[in-house]
Amino acid sequence: MVTKLDRLARSLRDATDIADELTRKGVALHFGGAVYDPTDPVGRLLFNVLGMVAEFEADLIRARTREGMAIAKAAGKLRGRKPKLTSSQEKHLLQLHDTGEHATSEIAELFGVARSTVYRAIQRAG
């Protein structure tokens, strides 16, 4: 049993494909306490209407989220993740790397970061 149709699939097409496959296997579809028979014209209509409404709700949520993020970014409140290294630490890291005396894993261990962070710092610098 699925409580809501939008929990079953991301789009109406996906929901229809899943429902067709389940029907071929003899599984009854229960959404919110009601049974929908996709072989019956009325059941198919109700399933499609519920699927369209669920897809519409998901689209609205995505649009509102994008709008809210754009507003937050314009207000300077959406900055993303803070960098692991300060600019002075990054300069020191690059100096250590440029000397060639230390391996990347040693530099990463020295600064307490992952090797990928060291590689990104090197890539940004040059």
| pLDDT for res 120 | 92
- The reply to whether 64 and 10 lie within a common domain is yes
- The reply to whether 69 and 114 lie within a common domain is no
| 3-state secondary structure at position 35 | strand
Strand ranges for the chain from DSSP E: 29-31, 34-36
Q: Positive or negative, the Cα torsion across 18, 23, 25, 26?
A: positive
What phi and psi values does residue 59 have, to the nearest 5 degrees? Answer: -65, -40
Is the pLDDT at 109 greater than 80? The verdict is yes
pLDDT band at 1 (very low <50, low <70, confident <90, very high): low
Q: Range of 62's domain?
A: 5-74
For the chain, the domain total comes to 2
How do residues 17-74 score in pLDDT, each as one tens digit? 888 888 888 887 777 777 777 778 888 888 888 888 888 998 999 999 999 999 999 9
pTM for the complete prediction?
A: 0.56
- The reply to whether 70 and 107 lie within a common domain is no
